[in-house]
Chains A and B, each alone.
Chain A
């Protein structure tokens, strides 16, 4: 991906990418760290703008760190959403019919095939 292509992406997609970095990190991150995690394809000011916007929306919190801020995602109350979602959705294994899930369940054979495809050299 080139810089130009990244800067042209819709704001919503950039917000999603930044949010994903914060969640995956699991610890507060400064705009500079976020920018580096994203592969430094975005200007740091862009990352700062996105983080500020996310903070305004109330999806991230921030704490003072040095001269700037470090950002972290707002945890929802005791993972309530997750639990409710799973109890509701796990009830039927058929739920993936309309909700297109990224990956389906694997059989032991599938697992072997996938591991072989991922690491063709090592078996």
Chain B
């Protein structure tokens, strides 16, 4: 039982590397789906496994054993394993719940304030322009979908590049990418290894929107140039703000630009393999956590005298 419940907690550590390869090899939209679904299932399974440990540990305590109407002691491995495992699990679940609620509130507040500001004035089509010296642009999902762009961003791009930017943001809205980003955020708070997967999911969403934009404007090079110009414009504006910490060594923007400048993706056998591996990993996690929880349930029933050994 312990091994069955440990597996879902260990499997997520294999996923960041797999997810990164999947993004490199699969079409961006496919990668976005496969990685996000995997992350969510793995997060759910690791929570279930923690729950299994907590339940077993609690039923070892006389108070809870009485509450659970156990007539026999719960058949488990040694108390030396079960009790510390339960204690650690309780701590981990508490941390998860805390950060989840905080993150959800923060997201909701940021989203609501962006929405209120964007709706304050009538938009031109779906475009909401913010008069600001900081180059910035983002998709604002909702009813109706909006794209928010600052004047500084509009001025640092030429007409064709602006069309690529708009096409990119519209692709985010049309593809419902905010659901994927929210799912990635939730998963990241459920298991520490899934934090790195969150970055991969964000990148996959950007890549999907980049490809859609390139298709809409009919020019991959132009789309790459728009992204690079926008990023560099943001950098120039930021040089006066030294309080911002530098990002990791190689960020997502050069990756996106290079991917657009490279020849379009051709499906390969490696892509199928990596996707299969990711799905297998997820399925294994699901199977072991489900079996683990069923075993716990079965043992509780035995201890309750409802079922014979």
In the complex, are the beta carbons of A11 and B125 less than 8 A apart?
Answer: yes
B122 A59 Cβ-Cβ under 8 A: yes
**Interface membership of chain B positions 206-244, coded 1 if the CB is closer than 8 angstroms to chain A and 0 otherwise:** 100100000001100000110111111011001000001
Residue in chain B with minimal CB distance to A116 = B254
Is there contact, CB below 8 Å, between B250 and A107?
A: yes
Q: Which residue of B lies closest to A58 (CB)?
A: B122
18 contacts across the A-B interface (CB closer than 8 A):
A13-B126, A14-B125, A16-B147, A20-B162, A24-B157, A39-B159, A82-B131, A88-B113, A89-B114, A94-B106, A97-B181, A98-B110, A100-B139, A100-B206, A102-B168, A105-B235, A107-B247, A107-B250
Give 1 or 0 for each of B158-178: 1 = CB within 8 Å of chain A CB. 011011011011101000011
**Cross-interface CB contact of A117 among B110, B228, B251, cutoff 8 Å:** B228
A59 to B125, CA, bound (A): 11
B5 in the interface (beta carbon within 8 A): no
- A68 interface residue, CB < 8 Å from B? no
Chain A interface: which size bin? 35 or more
- Whether a CB of chain A sits under 8 angstroms from the CB of B67 is no
- The number of inter-chain residue pairs (CB within 8 angstroms) is 206
Count B interface residues, CB 8 Å.
Answer: 81
A residues apposed to B, CB below 8 Å: 1, 10-21, 23-24, 26, 37-39, 54, 57-60, 73-76, 79, 81-82, 84-86, 88-89, 92-111, 113-115, 117-118
Chain A residue at minimal CB-CB distance from B137: A102
- Determine the distance from Cα of A123 to Cα of B107 in the docked complex, in whole angstroms: 41
Q: Which of chain B's residues have a CB closer than 8 A to the CB of A17?
A: 159, 162-163, 166
Whether, in the assembled complex, B309 has its beta carbon less than 8 Å from a beta carbon of chain A, the answer is: no
Given known A-B contacts A17-B166, A24-B162, A59-B124, A114 and B232 have beta carbons under 8 A apart: yes
Task: From known contacts A104-B247, A118-B225, infer whether A54 and B257 are also in contact, taking CB-CB under 8 Å.
Answer: no
